[in-house]
Amino acid sequence: MAAEPGSVLDTCDRMVRLKVPNLLRLYLNPFVAQTCLALSEIVHALWPDSLPAGDYPSFLANSGDEGLSGAIKLARYTQNSLALRSPAPADAHHHSTRVLLVDDGPWFRNFAEMCLDQAAGAPSNDSDAKPAPTTKVFIPDVTSITIADFLRLCESEDGLSGILVLSPRATWLQTSDSEVSAVLRSSIRRFLSQGTNLWICCVDQEHFLPDTGSSAAGLVPDIVVFDETFTGRQVPFGAFSSRPTLSAQWRGRGMTTFHSTTYQPNSISTMHFLKCLAEHSPQFFRELEPRFRALSADRGLLRRTFRTLFSPALARLTAAAGFDSDDVTASGHYLRVGSKKCFDGVGGVACSLRGHNPDTWVSEIQALESNPDIRGEVADRLFQLTGLRHHVPAVSGSSAAEHALKLGLLARVPHGLIVALQGGFSGKTLLALAGTSRDSYRRRLDPLYPDVVYVDPFAADAVSQLSRILRELPVALIQLELIQGVGGVREIPAAVLDLLRSTRQDTGVLLFVDEVQTGMFRTGPFVRSTELSLAPDLLTIGKGTSDMMIPFALTLYSDRVDHLLQSRAASYPAFLQQRCGYELGYRSVLNTLRRHERENSCDQVLTASQILSSRLQQVLADVDIVKDIRCYGLLIGIELDLQRTVAQRCGLNPAQLYLLQMTQHRNWPLLMGFCQYEPHVLKLTPPLTITEDEVELLTRTISDTLRASPPRLLLTGLQAWLRSRA
């Protein structure tokens, strides 16, 4: 049965048939370049005065909220950077990072704060008195106000400073012809005249069609946020585009991974964005169509556009790895670059269950159309697998972590302290950064959620530290990854887990386990928590939920959390079901759960892991630079000692050179990754369906590469450098 034309399934079918790489970073993705071009041109169409600033580069996301989070991060980073560079003492009046979210409706609802109808734990002398509503703040100094409130502030507050964010409706209103619009435009001009204030506009497809857009002369936003209405809410999508001078701050050395999300870049969302743009704004699309065709035909133009409008770092890395080709396809376990076949041992970093573009995926998803209760069956199966009866959907691992943190903090009002284990990573959106312990991803973004304490789980006194904190402080929840995927593929010590098991009953603290990288059978069982007899209150899964197709994730939670939320009249779970409950995402998860039940994935993964671990130990036993091999199912880390290597002494990155060498292997090229926190730890997350023959070939490639002579490795680096600058 063919997919319905215009539907997202039709887009998926096209991607599968053409073997278009989806979640592959080493790919000059023409759909990403075309989408970024379209977003820049939408900005110019809506605000013609933006043309002199040049093209507006974009950062892609998976939802309007993720796009808004990134936009506020960029604005705050800019404000804080200006304050640091100021020759005079920082003046809060001119360098405020206060954010004003302006809307007369619910567009910003639950983004930065939530109001509970009933406060918890607040004693009252009057037993009949209804407790006052409680507002829980997740992102400090972010305030939602009406348009009228904003107008009054501009009139009454001399030198109003900070970051102004207009909802799609408010953005549309300031361009229309009315008395209110004229006053609003005047207030915006007054706001922008104060110091270093910045202006963010949010747009959606309902209020803005580029064919009919108009502009208030002289008013140009610094950043523009796009939401999922641009893909008809059929597939997760979001983005923000900014003035080139702003985006340049995140494109230099050391900043190239400062802002990214779980599933970016991806093909399915950008392909469907372009399809929806053609359907809803045909005239605008026709005007851009010659430029889209040119991007498909001219490799040099595609490379320049990708670098200018999306990511210069990814463009350079793609060229360095030899993937800068007009003939890159992906199917099963392999990538094909021209005539070269390369095994994908990254798979979107633990996203790959059975490889790229499964031939039967579309027909499998279509077969579920007759199921009257997809969500109910998913919930039942998740309960059987995890013991957690409740869940909410998410569009990425980062958003799933944010949902978990918000649910946990709401359930534990008035307790508000998060204890996060160092080395953990839960994403880079504003609240998810609470669980991302590295300062390098948090710098110049203040103020972030303030009530976070980080504990090193590998410290000799970790257990005593945690015991004291749980005993003395108002802890709401503890957040951890059982295996720190970004932090070096390291397992949390058993003594720490024992403490968490024994103290939770006494303290009432909630346990949030992030299994975005370890779940979906990656380490053998569906989630690692069950193997360790650890019963979390909150649990996140992602990565493999996508089946390398549609971005999707889930946040699961216990009866206890549900009871606490209901006692506080919290409506957040229902809100998330409506906002993030993509039907195609649910079908993909259900299809995966059914298939893995039939195929007994747990046993398959454990068998493959045992073979792979044994072979790695054998072939790398006498390789001097190999310090440790850590295998947890098919989540593998190889720690290298690179301090005395020639490449290190030459100021090069030897780990990156080894990875490049693997992609160039003469017999069996391999794409492998590394851990962001510890780049000397190579990381392997192959498809769960890896075969024994592939294990043998994979280990040979790794062994050959790590034995490479210094001259050969330096030659690889030189060749890669030349390719990246060709």
Query: Which tens digits make up the pLDDT trace of 309-357?
Result: 999 999 999 999 999 888 999 999 999 998 899 999 999 999 999 999 9
542 shares its domain with 640: no
Sign of the Cα pseudo-torsion (575, 577, 578, 582, in order): positive
- In single-letter form, the type of residue at position 433 comes to L
| Domain assignment of residue 121, yes or no | no
201 shares its domain with 72: yes
Q: Where would I find the beta strands (DSSP E) of 5-112?
A: 58-61, 99-102
Cβ atoms of residues 79 and 196 within 8 Å: yes
Q: How far is CA 191 from CA 86, 151, 186, 214, in A?
A: 21, 10, 9, 21
Q: Which two tokens stand for residue 482?
A: 């059982």
342 shares its domain with 375: no
d(CA 561, CA 66): 25
d(CA 245, CA 449): 28
Helix boundaries (H) for 620-691: 646-649, 654-663
* Residue in the structure block whose two tokens are 């869940």: 391
Cβ atoms of residues 681 and 637 within 8 Å: yes
- Which of 3, 23, 19 has its CA nearest to residue 11? 3
- Which of 626, 647, 595 has its CA nearest to residue 699? 626
Q: How far is CA 242 from CA 28, 53, 197, in A?
A: 21, 10, 15
pLDDT, position 488: 96
Length in residues, the chain: 726
Q: How far is CA 364 from CA 267, 359, 369, 557, in A?
A: 20, 10, 10, 28
| Domain assignment of residue 135, yes or no | no
- For the chain, list residues with pLDDT below 70: 1-6, 87-95, 117-133, 177, 209-217
pLDDT, position 181: 85
> Which domain-ending residue is among 552, 579, 597?
597
- Which of 570, 528, 538 has its CA nearest to residue 400? 538
Query: What's the burial of 711, exposed, middle or buried (CB within 10 Å: 0-12/13-18/19+)?
Result: exposed
pLDDT, position 576: 96
> 465 — alpha (psi -120 to 50), left (phi > 0) or beta?
alpha
In eight-state DSSP terms, residue 437 is: -
Cβ atoms of residues 198 and 78 within 8 Å: yes
| Domain assignment of residue 647, yes or no | yes
Cβ atoms of residues 346 and 317 within 8 Å: no
Query: What's the burial of 169, exposed, middle or buried (CB within 10 Å: 0-12/13-18/19+)?
Result: middle
In eight-state DSSP terms, residue 396 is: S
Element (H, E) at 173: helix 168-173
| Domain assignment of residue 128, yes or no | no
551 shares its domain with 661: no
Query: What's the burial of 700, exposed, middle or buried (CB within 10 Å: 0-12/13-18/19+)?
Result: middle
Interacting residues of 293 by C-beta distance below 8 A, sequence separation 6+:
none
Q: How far is CA 506 from CA 210, 500, 510, 694, in A?
A: 58, 11, 11, 49
In eight-state DSSP terms, residue 525 is: S
Sheet of 334-337, strand order: 328-331, 334-337, 340-344, 670-671
Pairing of strands 673-674, 681-684: antiparallel
Torsion angle in degrees (nearest 10) through CA of 316, 27, 235, 215? 40
109 shares its domain with 159: yes
Show the domain range for 169: 36-113+141-318
Vertex 264: Cα angle to 261 and 265 (nearest 5): 155
Q: What is the CATH number of the domain that holds 475?
A: 3.40.640.10
pLDDT, position 3: 62
| Domain assignment of residue 31, yes or no | no
> Which domain-ending residue is among 569, 597, 625?
597
pLDDT, position 133: 65
d(CA 400, CA 63): 12
d(CA 639, CA 630): 8
| Domain assignment of residue 122, yes or no | no
pLDDT, position 81: 93
396 shares its domain with 487: yes
626 shares its domain with 575: no
pTM for the structure as a whole: 0.95
Cβ atoms of residues 470 and 509 within 8 Å: yes
Helix boundaries (H) for 47-146: 64-85
Can you count the helices (H) and strands (E) in the chain?
26, 26
Element (H, E) at 149: helix 147-156
pLDDT, position 507: 84
Q: Which two tokens stand for residue 381?
A: 């199966």
pLDDT, position 92: 44
Give Dmax over CA atoms of the chain in angstroms: 81
Q: Which two tokens stand for residue 40?
A: 């820049």
92 shares its domain with 201: yes
- In single-letter form, the type of residue at position 404 comes to A
559 shares its domain with 629: no
Q: What is the CATH number of the domain that holds 716?
A: 3.90.1150.10
Beta bridge partners of 631: 636
pLDDT, position 169: 92
pLDDT, position 213: 52
pLDDT, position 238: 97
Query: What's the burial of 620, exposed, middle or buried (CB within 10 Å: 0-12/13-18/19+)?
Result: middle
Cβ atoms of residues 331 and 17 within 8 Å: no
d(CA 276, CA 30): 17
- Which of 228, 328, 433 has its CA nearest to residue 28? 328
| Domain assignment of residue 241, yes or no | yes
Q: How far is CA 377 from CA 395, 536, 575, in A?
A: 20, 22, 20
Is the bond preceding residue 282 a cis peptide, omega within 30 degrees?
A: no
Number of folded domains that form the chain = 3
41 shares its domain with 182: yes
513 shares its domain with 624: no
578 shares its domain with 637: no
Cβ atoms of residues 580 and 392 within 8 Å: yes
Vertex 70: Cα angle to 209 and 455 (nearest 5): 160
Measured N-to-C along each axis, helices 583-599 and 374-386 cross at an angle, to the nearest 10 degrees, of: 50
Q: Which two tokens stand for residue 555?
A: 């946040």
Count the Cβ atoms, other than its own, within 10 Å of residue 425: 26
d(CA 425, CA 350): 14
Q: Which two tokens stand for residue 723?
A: 């390719």
| Domain assignment of residue 14, yes or no | no
d(CA 280, CA 229): 11
Beta bridge partners of 342: 335
Q: What is the CATH number of the domain that holds 97?
A: 3.40.640
Beta bridge partners of 703: none
Q: What is the CA radius of gyration of the chain?
A: 25
> Which domain-ending residue is among 582, 597, 612?
597
